[in-house]
Amino acid sequence: MKKLFLLTTVILFTACQTATAPSEPKMSDEDIISSLKEKAVKLQDAILTQNLEEFNKHVDENIPFITGDSNLSKFYVMNSERFDIEQKAKWGTFELYDIDVSLVNSNTAVLTFYAKGDYTVGESDVIDYSTRASSVWVSTVNGWKIMHSNWAPLEGGTGIPK
């Protein structure tokens, strides 16, 4: 009886081991940092070009993405409905640079960075854009997703129009 019990236990243990999917290999901190820098750029490009498909890759429908624009207006939820609002600024150039990623823990990262570029409003002259920003990203079952960003004019710089 003992042998039968031992054999049954070994068979069950083996079956359970093969039935579970192998765990995903853990990304190194360097790979996470590199990926988050790339995601930050792609997300911002998606917002500027109104590319909803790309935007949705970087947000989680269960986590509100709260943002504050560089015009220092109130915070708001950035979601697909914002893509229906006509943009006042028409962008000429836009670039994120000096992106720094701080991994708070294995599930949270804070990015700080700068942005520069230029835009026009209506028939106005070209306005130089210069801001500093930060964002918070969280690791989810669907990958890293943004949950917060905040933009403000860089000292002596100009943000977006109100």
The CATH number linked to 116 is: 3.10.450.50
In a domain, 11, yes or no: no
User: Distance between CA atoms of 117 and 1, rounded to whole angstroms?
Assistant: 78
* 145-154 per-position pLDDT tens digit: 999 999 999 9
Alpha-carbon distance 108 to 76, whole Å? 21
Whether 11 shows a pLDDT value over 90: the answer reads: no
In a domain, 126, yes or no: yes
Domain-embedded: residue 139: yes
DSSP string covering 85-110: SPPSEEEEEEEEEEEEEEEEETTEEE
Instruction: Look at residue 131 in the predicted model and tell me its pLDDT.
Output: 96
Residue 113 covered by a domain: yes
Indicate the pTM of the whole model.
Answer: 0.81
Around Cβ 162, how many Cβ atoms within 10 Å? Answer: 8
The alpha carbons of the chain give a radius of gyration, in whole angstroms, of 23
**148 is in which domain, residue-wise?**
27-153
pLDDT at 25: 65
CA–CA dist 129, 100 (Å, integer): 20
Within a domain: 115: yes
Q: Which of these, 29, 26, 48, 49, lies nearest to 37 by C-alpha position? A: 29
Q: How many domains does the chain have?
A: 1
Q: Write the pLDDT tens digit of every residue in 49-106.
A: 999 999 999 999 999 999 999 999 999 999 988 988 888 889 999 999 999 999 998 8
In a domain, 13, yes or no: no
